[in-house]
Amino acid sequence: MKKLINDPEDVVSEAVAGMAVAHADLIRVETDPIFIVRADAPVAGKVGIVSGGGSGHEPMHGGLVGPGMLDAAVPGPVFTSPTPDPIVAATKAVDAGRGVLHIVKNYTGDVLNFETAADLAAAEDIEVRSVVVDDDVAVKDSLYTAGRRGVAGTVLVEKIAGAAADRGDDLDAVAAIATRVNAQVRSMGVALTACTVPHAGEPSFDLPDDEIEIGIGIHGEPGRARIPIEPADRIVDRLLEPILEDLPFESGDDVLLFVNGMGGTPLIELYIVYRRAAEVLAERGINVTRHLVGDYTTSLEMQGASITVLKLDDELTELWDAPVETAALRWGR
């Protein structure tokens, strides 16, 4: 295992320490327990938004904390859910009296620990709603998950819910927007290589030199099929077909097309994927009116990509376009 790390036990604490010093204008980092919070939290008059989950998917979620998006992010150990304790602490830190939304990716550990944290926060008179994101169409029920997994669509839920909170929506309204985005977003990914969790020291799974995994999970969970490597256009078709059929997305729909890198794939390849995906959508009469291309929901150094399609309407488009200022996503301020 070759990584730019010190002791594998210190990976998360040192990385968030690096974030704290790099982005002191946007965030501060609490260390006991560990969470990342907006420098100006709690923000008066605003619903708070907290997300979190295992580390190793950066910039999600810590790089998405800031005006217009998350108020706090709770990083667990690599690929391991955070315990309820830091989730409660983050929830308290962002509550300004209008309640707090938890955005939770659908993994059994995350769901349980966020539920426990919500109960504990409620016991301290903080109103909490939770929205569970399950955008991955690859498989139903998986390693770590009952039901569908939450993957890169989570970034879109967080951006749009963040904008809703920013414009002053109340807790029910922010939760309703997040629920609506989750209902209209679908994703699927492919892995070309595995990744290595630092404290494990060995790749999470084996993938032969000439094979890829279609429908991979963001922790390397099995997908739909392991097949020989193919040209990118064919792989994109394999990912898009189940995404488009699932909602379904139809001719005349306006969508946001998001091509996400898994961490180890060059940007040049993501644009090759984007090109084909946009071509397929155009052929079907689906209008790509917004886009996102880059590494936002990663799996450490895994090579691969995922495609996410979100059906837009005027309100979601306006919320997507609203100003955001985070380490990883910023525009309009």
Binding flag, residue 124, a second copy (CB under 8 A) = no
Which of 31-39, 84-92, 143-151, 293-301 is the region at the interface with a second copy (rule: CB under 8 A)?
293-301
Using CB under 8 A, pick the residue from 156, 181, 300, 322 that binds a second copy.
300
Q: Which is nearer to a second copy, 111 or 207 (CB)?
A: 207
In whole angstroms, give the CA distance from residue 213 to residue 208: 10
In whole angstroms, give the CA distance from residue 160 to residue 141: 27
Binding flag, residue 332, a second copy (CB under 8 A) = yes
At 49, phi and psi to the nearest 5? -130, 125
Binding flag, residue 19, a second copy (CB under 8 A) = yes
Cis peptide preceding 102, ω within 30 of 0: no
Q: How far is the CB of 155 from a second copy (least distance, A)?
A: 14
Using CB under 8 A, pick the residue from 168, 201, 248, 266 that binds a second copy.
266
Which is the catalytic residue, given 102, 199, 219, 291?
A: 219
Catalytic annotation on 219?
yes
Pairing, β 287-294 against β 254-261: parallel
Binding flag, residue 18, a second copy (CB under 8 A) = yes
Measured between its terminal Cα atoms, the distance across the chain in Å is 41
Binding flag, residue 298, a second copy (CB under 8 A) = yes
Using CB under 8 A, pick the residue from 73, 151, 161, 192 that binds a second copy.
192
Report helix angle 314-321 to 153-166, nearest 10.
90
Q: How far is the CB of 57 from a second copy (least distance, A)?
A: 9
Q: Cβ contacts of residue 165 below 8 Å, gap of 6+? A: 46, 47, 48, 49, 71, 101, 174
Neighbour-count burial for 153-191, b at 16+ CB within 10 Å, e otherwise = bbbbbbbbbbbbbbeebebeebbbbbbbbbebbbbbbbb
List active site positions. 57, 219
Residues that bind a second copy (CB under 8 A): 2-7, 11-12, 14-19, 21-23, 55-56, 58-59, 63, 78, 190, 192-193, 209-210, 212, 229, 231-233, 235, 263-275, 278, 288, 291, 293, 295, 298, 300-301, 303-305, 325, 327, 330-333
